[in-house]
Structure 1
């Protein structure tokens, strides 16, 4: 992919897409967005767990065919919305002759204790990536669905494409909602969907992300790679890890206060609803896709 012109029982699926590049557009100014991903110590632990869960599903840290270049060295990799930097720390310690860069609007990443071939940058993707055109061999973005408004996706994707070298790869990773849910989990998803739609965020957009990518110019290839697993006791150890992550996020003080406010109910009622979901995970077979695409890879996850 290149920029020629410079410019319960929850069954999960994971899918990855691959693209190939186009012209840049002018950077847009706007308000600094809120940091919608968790950033306290417990929630960051959850992000670490999600990283290793996805690595287990793919048997690797990525789906794009970039490993040979990483091993040879000199490969430049960017992770947009890197959070605590788990993905980059894993890669930079394994591929010591390549170079890794992480970007996030909040400095929740390590500042000093990190490999020499890894650099973190505090920056806002919505104001444009702070790099010239055609710099990176591999650009990765994960878990940004809650932060990117529907009207911002075209710009975000164009920026990822702009900084990727011709013939390079892009991998996007997001989570999609589960299917065949019980009533308690359906209610929870409806609450989050309503809350996000008020901010202009569409949680169902991941199912159409490959079409948005393909509409962005000189994309020559989009490839999907879908994986699935069960959340809850019927999913074995992996399912229980995913259930723990789900509860870690939804039982946090911030989440319970948000759910209580949105529903106009007490925090005790919210906690009872979450207990009902745990019981549903033992009973229902929920299906939840994890999708991905790129200018040579996009991932969309739960």
Structure 2
């Protein structure tokens, strides 16, 4: 097994129930992700059920998304949308180091561990650690160069200074206030080795060139996030936050346009379906915000799918990377 890079405090857990998962197939190609194991669910007061969905119950976390099988499936598909759109799992110039140098890599907020396991299989000479708020990462039959840790990023990172060669974090735009973003970036930089690289990826939440139904649905989402003091435009000042650490050099960024809807082919269809699942997750909350019954809300989402083909919206994704000096 891979070497553990930390010594988390021991904790007592109640009996855990294991829910089996099968080998996961990429929705975009014949590529398979080797995750033929169980997802480890710990029922120990850290989760709560809302409308049949399981959510974390961590008091100091603003993160709003569920932590159950349906959500991990959605995140898995989101991973392949991202990889296909960007033509790769990262943009920073790390390829040679990952192949030959035995790099130590951290994925902060790893979710179901899709990125970690795929990268570990691609770069067997490097070691990958995934850290996430919820203990639902693959635990069995994972590559030997992988380990996972359940930990809240808002509590700081349980690693020494200058530990990792490469740190990756993406899609946490719905998790942090501006103050928390700055604290977490400072922590990520702290545990990055001198000469190591940090890469952060986020997408705009609300698509561009969208129609009236889209603005209603995304308006409900944005209103909910802002009510939690979430920094919904962190990507607009990400470079400034990276510069504020005064420990990074060669700060660079890249943008990518991503289309919504069947009009845009397989990627657009998957992205629309993926986003639609988010809207359905919060049916009760968003329908109340919009002042409609649940049945009307479901019809609104169906109409939104059709509207996408008329307005042909898109959103912009951003990758930021820098080297620690």
How far has the Cα of 1:32 moved from its partner? 3.3
Which of 265, 269, 283 is residue 240 of structure 1 equivalent to?
269
Q: Does 96-105 or 186-195 show the bigger shift?
A: 186-195
Q: 2:244 aligns with which of 203, 211, 215?
A: 215
SS of alignment partner, residue 224 of structure 1: strand
1:73 Cα offset (Å): 3.6
TM-score by length of 1: 0.84
**Do 2:109 and 2:133's aligned partners in 1 also have CA atoms closer than 8 Å?**
yes
Distance 1:296-1:240 versus aligned 2 partners, 3 A rule: farther
- 2:64 maps to 36
Corresponding residue number in structure 1 for 2:227: 198
Corresponding residue for 2:322?
295
1:211: how far off?
A: 1.7
User: Number of residues paired by the alignment?
Assistant: 266
Higher relative contact order (CA 8 A, sep 6+): 1
Q: How does 1:13-162 map to 2 (within 5 A)?
A: 31-33=59-61, 35-162=63-190
Counterpart in 2 of 1:279? 306
Contact 2:258 2:317 in 1 (8 A): no
Instruction: Show structure 1 runs of 4+ deviating over 4 A.
Output: none
Higher mean alpha-carbon deviation, 102-111 vs 221-230, is at 221-230
Specify every segment of 5 or more residues in structure 2 that has no aligned partner in the other structure, as ranges: 1-57
Contact residue 217 and residue 279 of structure 2 kept, 8 A:
no
Structure 1 residue 78: deviation in Å? Answer: 0.1
CA distance in 2, matches of 1:31, 1:48: 26
- Residues of 2 paired with 1:249 and 1:113: CA distance? 30
Deviation digits for residues 106-143 of structure 1 (CA, Å, limit 9, x no counterpart): 01211222111100001111110000000000001111
Shift in Å, 1:276: 2.0
More strand by share: 2
